[in-house]
Amino acid sequence: MTSFRLVAHVVAPAGGASFIALWTIAEAGRSGLAGVVTVAAVLGLAIGLSVFAPLVALAVVAVLPAMQLVGIAPATSETTWPMYFAVCLVALVVAATGARRERLLALPAALLATTLAVANMTVPTDAEPYRWTSWTSSFSGSHPIRDSLTVLLLAGVGLVVLAWGTGYGIGAAGRLRRLDSVLSETEDRLAETDLELRLGAERSRISRDVHDSVAHALTIVVAQSEGATALHRREPEVVDVVLAAVSGVAREALADVRGLVERITEPGDELVSLSDVPALVERMRGVGMTVVVEELGERPGLRPAQQLTVYRLVQESLTNALKHGGQASRASVVLDWRGGGLALLVHSSGGTPLIARGSLAGPGAGITGMAERAAISGGWLTAEPGDAGDFVVTAYLPFGGSGGGSVGTGVGERALPRAASGAGEDRTRA
pLDDT in tens, 144-162: 777 788 889 999 999 999 9
CATH number of the domain where residue 415 is located = 3.30.565.10
Cα gap 73→63, rounded to integer Å: 10
Mean pLDDT, rounded, for 131-147: 69
Cα gap 56→142, rounded to integer Å: 41
pLDDT at residue 215 in the model:
67
Secondary structure of residue 428 in the 3-state scheme? coil
Secondary structure of residue 234 in the 3-state scheme? coil
Answer yes or no: do 185 and 296 share one domain: no
**Residue 65, CB-side half-sphere exposure with 13 Å CA sphere:** 27
Domain-ending residue, one of 189, 207, 223? 189
Answer yes or no: do 308 and 428 share one domain: yes
Range of the domain at 124: 3-189
Indicate the pTM of the whole model: 0.48
Cα gap 350→398, rounded to integer Å: 31
Domain-ending residue, one of 162, 189, 216? 189
Q: 104 lies in a domain? A: yes
Name the domain count of the chain: 2
- Contact status, residue 380 vs residue 406, Cβ threshold 8 Å: no
- Characterize 32-53 residue by residue with b for buried, 16 or more Cβ atoms within 10 angstroms of its Cβ, and e for exposed: eeebbbebbebbbbbbbbbbee
Q: 229 lies in a domain? A: no
pLDDT band for 108, please (50, 70, 90 cuts): very high
Domain-ending residue, one of 153, 169, 189? 189
pLDDT band for 406, please (50, 70, 90 cuts): very low
181 or 423, higher pLDDT: 181
Is residue 17 scored above 80 in pLDDT? yes
Q: 275 lies in a domain? A: no
Provide the edge-to-edge strand list for the sheet that holds 290-296.
Answer: 290-296, 330-336, 341-349, 391-398, 380-385
Answer yes or no: do 151 and 22 share one domain: yes
Q: What is the pLDDT of residues 42-69, one digit of tens each?
A: 999 999 999 999 999 999 999 999 999 8
User: Amino acid identity, residue 195?
Assistant: L
What is the share, in percent, of the chain residues with pLDDT greater than 90? 31
